[in-house]
Structure 1
Amino acid sequence: MKVRTRFAPSPTGNVHIGNMRAAIYNWLFARHMGGEFLLRVEDTDIERSTPEAIQTLLDAMDWLGLDVDGEHLYQTTRQQAHLDAAEMLLSKGLAYKEDKGGTGQGECVIFRMPGTDSSFVDGIKGPLSKAAANMQDFVIVRSNGTPVFHLANVLDDIEQGITHVIRGDDHVENTFRHIALYQALGADVPNFAHLPMIVNAQGKPYSKRDGDAFVGDFREKGFLPDALFNYLALLGWSPGDDREIMTREEMVEAFTLARCQSSAAQVDLKKLTWMNGEYMQKLPAAEFEAMASAELRKAGIDADPAYAQKVFGLIRERVKTVADIAPMVGYFFSDDFEYDEKAVRKKLQKDGVADTLAKVKAIFELLATFDEASTDKALHDFVEESGLGFGAVMAPVRLAVSGIQSGPELFPTMEVLGRERVLQRIDRTVELYLT
């Protein structure tokens, strides 16, 4: 039997990370088993499943590298097949019509549950069962003549030859109904596996209120697709060892449903940010520079390529997301930068700082060369000779040249800025805060 999994979203304009994690698990399982991963767009909600919403879904899948086997199936093209199946169930007495609730709005088609206990072995949760008394008949065609999710979902899985249905555990109750439908339709029942829900720190379903929740949010914030894919894959699954940063190939090789957890998976955005930083470090230099240059352009910074390349080399190890880049390098491209006012009060506006900066400026003016090595030696010598603490010298100098307390190493930063710019910035700082 060739394994076939599917991702069957209902496009609404945004793609939640929970839905995309389900797609990732279906993709990983299919690739691990040498099978096929299919896409079915459940687009029967005409008002919300607009062409734009569908394109957003496809773009998110493409961005994450979730390649699909075969043609996409759109559920709206299958409506007649769904209605024909309902008629067949009616003709066999496996369904009946009823004016549901006595509304007078027309008759629904209702599937007749077989009246027997139901059980199945879930690929993640293990054996599950439900007593017949707790399973009621249910609507499969509405009074307006449109098929309900249960019927359409099962029929389309049969049509696509799906062997493994891997979806969120909010569908466990539906699965008992679906098994009865498969049996009534004379079809093989696929294997089911229900993924744990994704929750916030309070154990509630993770939503936009908790922070970024849609794939597009993370893309806009500068996360890399490989990092988000890696993180979501580990949000409820483990390879069985301590590995966290994994290639697609490694994940495909290691993935099994048996290693998926049955308890809820909690989102940890700090861990995702750390993971993204690890992926940023692995980018080829040319790719990182192209990405960083694009961020500068978006921020309205027109930079000399050779100068920008030096700046990127200084900040690269500190970058966690692409969106960090422009805010991190602003002072390299503008002398009119803002100062960290808290740091100014704590580190600059103190007795003796004006004199210290004046002496540092004089030392820099006399250096034969102005580079990392010469400025490093000059300031260390000054610290030793003056008896001032290292921080009492370096902190004011860093604030003077960048406006902030942290950043790349001070001495290579000053080399990239150049002597003239550094001296001008010391003068500006003294004028603004120390006169």
Structure 2
Amino acid sequence: MIRTRFAPSPTGLLHVGGLRTALYNYIFAKQNNGQFILRIEDTDQNRKVRNADKKIIQSLNDFNIEFDEGPNKNEKYGPYFQSQRLDIYKKHYINLIKEKKAYVCFEKNENLIPEYNVETALEKIKIQKFVVKFIIKSDESITIHDELRGNIKFDLKLIDDPIIIKSDGFPTYHFANVIDDHYMKISHVIRGEEWISSLPKHVLLYKSFNWETPKFVHLPLLLNPDKSKLSKRQGDVHVENFIQKGYLKNAIINFIALLGWHPSGDDELFNLEYLIQNFSLARLQKSGAIFDIKKLNWMNNFYIKNLEVQSLYQQIIDLYLMNNNINKKNQYLAAIEYEKNNAITLIDLYNKTESYFKDSFGITTKSLRPYDTASLFTLWINHLKKIDNITSENINNIIKSSTNELGIAGKKLFIPLRLALIGKEHGPDLFTIINIIGLEESINRLNTIKGL
């Protein structure tokens, strides 16, 4: 059976690279009727962030990436927190020491002094702090097959004996990773390219236990447009950052899926179901994948344009951008319907609709000086008071009256009215504006600006 895993460290929010790794592992398992496992690699206690594991799990759930096994779910091969598996690791490093495949080092004058006598080492570790190192035979080379990159040759003379047990008693990534993948029956290890250099250590550990190695797939690096590596230290590279900025989850998944993979056709816009049907390891690229924010913006605009206004309204509320204003909900929905075609993010959409509902716009007499606003606003106020329903015909009749009675048309008509009604020179047609904000509010705003 195909069994893949996502094994994040709980050191913060979910990175976009982590989301891609989880996504590819999930898709590959699902399309092969396999199982997707979540394991929390919390062996680095100094960098562990409280509740980070819960936030990572929540992020995966938000994107409908559901694990078959993991913390508190079908714990067949658990525990799924590495910090709870220390006894398992201890049994295995003791065996390696006894078989002289690893050795113990003790600290002296800030140096690590190896103790190669097995009996002495095993006695001393009961009372002294120690680390354990795995023996790499330096006179050999090793060739390892990667499902994406083919055979990769490593010169073992260039690799130092790695620490597999730290002085705090916790295993290093290399050691725990191999043991857990074996006992959790992981068939395919799909992870980032940055782990290629660690591959010989992992394979040699498998060999030291006489275990079968899984198949390896190392995904391309995520790069900035300038080809530098996309790094956590750069700030906004966490999934939660993009959600808070107003990017839709469907757009994020679509965008992330294309960072290193492409379908056989020209399709660029698709959902998770499409990915499960069409994803293929054979179509992964080896070279770095550019994280192009312009493409994400384009995708997000597409998804916003095609989403129901009620859903957009609710998502804006969920981002705490506004309260659920029942009294003005219909006006908000109408504003969203008009503005969504040109919105990049939910925040952008909110900002575009906000002008319809502001109490004031900071309009000054200077901005209105080029226009004959007194007579124009008076005419519009009087005509709006006479109509009961807002229709395009009614508004067009008032526009004609402005031209026939005052000789005002074109920009000299539309710009001052938009400034008075929504605080912007450019925007929707007057019927759309008045229909959104309502007759009474339109009259009030014209009266307010007229009084400047």
Judge same fold: TM > 0.5, yes or no.
yes
Instruction: Report if aligned partners of 1:295, 1:326 keep a CA contact under 8 Å in 2.
Output: no
Does structure 1 residue 139 correspond to structure 2 residue 163? yes
Q: How does 1:39-54 map to 2 (within 5 A)?
A: 39-54=38-53
Q: Which residue of 1 aligns with 2:100?
A: 93
Partner of 1:249: 273
Shift of 1:154: 0.5
* 1:236/1:385 CA distance change after superposition, 3 Å: farther
Q: How does 1:53-202 map onto structure 2 within 5 Å? A: 53-72=52-71, 73-99=80-106, 102-103=111-112, 106-114=129-137, 115-202=139-226
In the TM superposition, residue 337 of structure 1 has moved relative to its aligned partner by: 2.4
Aligned CA-pair RMSD: 2.9
Aligned-residue offset at 1:384: 8.2
Shift of 1:108: 2.7
Give, in whole Å, the separation in 2 of the partners of 1:411 and 1:333: 16
**Aligned partners of 2:261 and 2:285 also within 8 Å:** yes
Residues 317 and 211 of structure 1, relative CA distance in 2, 3 Å threshold: farther
The separation in 2 between residues aligned to 1:295 and 1:176, in whole angstroms, is 46
| Greater CA drift, 111-120 or 208-217 | 208-217
> In 1, distance between residues paired with 2:398 and 2:370?
23
Alignment of 1:245-284 (within 5 A): 245-284=269-308
Larger mean Cα displacement after TM superposition, 191-200 or 349-358: 349-358
Matched residues in 1 for 2:318 and 2:18: separation?
30
Tell me: CA distance 1:163–1:206, structure 2 relative to 1, closer, same or farther (3 Å): same
Partner of 2:77: none
Distance 1:295 1:303, change over 3 A: farther
User: Which of residues 279, 284, 287 in structure 1 aligns to 2:311?
Assistant: 287
CA positional deviation for 1:420: 3.2
SS in 2 for 1:12: coil
Residue 215 of structure 1 corresponds to 239
Aligned residue identity for 1:102? N
* Cα offset, 1:232, TM superposition: 0.8
Deviation (angstroms), 1:428 = 2.1
Work out whether residues 339 and 404 of structure 1, in 8 Å CA contact, stay in contact via their aligned partners in 2: no
| Aligned counterparts, 1:333-352, within 5 A | 333-334=357-358, 336-339=359-362, 348-352=368-372
More helix by share: 1
1:192: how far off?
1.1
**Range with greater deviation from structure 2 (192-201 or 413-422):** 413-422
Contact 1:295-1:325 at 8 Å conserved across structures? no
CA deviation string 1:58-98 (max 9, x = no partner) = 11111111100123311112211112111212222222223
CA contact (8 A) 2:83 2:170 kept: no
Distance 1:54 1:235, change over 3 A: same
1:119 touches 1:128 (CA, 8 Å); kept in 2? yes
CA distance in 1, matches of 2:24, 2:253: 10
- Letter of the 2:221 partner, please give it: M
Once the two structures are overlaid, the 10-residue window that deviates more, 77-86 or 100-109, is 100-109
**Partners in 1 of 2:373 and 2:196 — Cα distance?**
68
> How far 1:253 sits from its partner (Å)?
1.4
Partner SS, residue 185 of structure 2: coil
Identity of aligned residues (%): 29
State the alpha-carbon separation in 2 of the partners of residues 21 and 296 from structure 1: 27
Structure 2 residue matching 1:128: 3-state secondary structure? strand
Q: Is the 8 A contact 1:330 1:337 kept in 2?
A: no
1:242/1:410 Cα in 2 relative to 1: closer, same or farther (>3 Å)?
farther
**Offset of 1:32 from its aligned partner?**
2.2
Give the gaps of 5 or more residues in structure 2: 72-79, 114-127
Counterpart residue identity of residue 83, structure 1:
K
- Contact kept, 8 Å, 1:12 with 1:53, in 2: the verdict is yes
TM-score by length of 1: 0.87
Shift of 1:387: 6.6
1:249-272 Cα shifts (integer Å, max 9, x gaps): 111111112212222222222322
Distance 1:211 1:350 in 2: 46
3-state DSSP class of the match of 1:66? coil
State the Cα deviation string for residues 275-321 of structure 1 (Å, max 9, x = none). Answer: 22322333345433433455678458563444444444333434443
CA change 1:51–1:218 in 2 (3 A) is same
Say whether the 8 Å CA contact 1:339–1:399 is kept in structure 2. Answer: no
CA distance in structure 1 between the aligned counterparts of 2:248 and 2:407, rounded to whole angstroms: 47
Runs of 4+ in 1 over 6 A off after TM superposition: 384-387
Aligned: 1:25 with 2:32: no
Aligned residues: 427
Structure 1 residue matching 2:277: 3-state secondary structure: helix
For residues 65 and 93 of structure 1, what CA distance do their matches in structure 2 show?
A: 46
Of residues 332, 337, 348, the one that matches 1:313 is 337
- Shift of the 424–142 alpha-carbon distance from structure 1 to 2, 3 Å rule, reads closer
Question: 1:129-164: CA deviations, max 9, x gaps?
Answer: 112322332221224433221111110010111111
